[in-house]
Amino acid sequence: MLKLEDLDLDMIAMAMQDDGSMGTSYLLDTETGEVLMYGMDPDSDDEIDLEDEKYLSIEPIQSYESYQHMEDFVGTLPEANARQRLEQALIRSKPFRHFKDALYDFPELQKDWYTFKDEAMAKVIVRWLIGEQVIEDPEVS
């Protein structure tokens, strides 16, 4: 098993948040912790044996999970204009676009949002890694 510190959580988070629209997929090498990209350049895939059991496909998170992160963040804000604007953005059509646009009007909250999102993604990743038996549960140790 790998140790959590052996893994590039930022790279895994990026892979989990990639919608695949550019034709890229990601694998985690469960022996080394390396994240591999494949699919964009068919010639580069020759070195990756997709059937090798040491590779674990990194699937994108569901949009409802990303939406939940936004809702959770808004729930941490005090009752004020920013919270109201972000809540309204979330109930409109295209909530991801409207949330981002509304957040743009509150630059002091942007850093807080990205920190919150990074921490939420880290929790998603750790749960996934434990479930796939790539790392041991740090809570059990």
DSSP for 52-76, written as a single string: -TTEEEEPPPPHHHHHHHHHHHHHH
Question: By the 8 A CB rule, do 99 and 114 touch?
Answer: no
What residue ranges do the domains of the chain occupy? 4-59+123-131, 63-120
Q: What is the pLDDT of residue 41?
A: 57
Angle at 44 between CA 35 and CA 41, to 5 degrees: 95
- The residues that bridge with 35 in the sheet, in sequence order, are 28
CA atoms of 41 and 38, how far apart (whole Å): 7
Q: What is the pLDDT of residue 63?
A: 93
The number of residues in the chain equals 141
Q: What is the pLDDT of residue 44?
A: 54
- Residue closest to 27 by CA, chosen among 37, 18, 17: 37
Q: What is the pLDDT of residue 43?
A: 54
Question: pLDDT tens digit string along 25-53?
Answer: 999 999 999 999 987 655 554 567 777 88
- pTM of the predicted structure, to 2 decimals: 0.85
Instruction: Split the chain (141 residues) into runs of 10 and give each run's mean pLDDT.
Output: 93 93 91 88 61 90 96 96 97 96 95 97 96 87 57
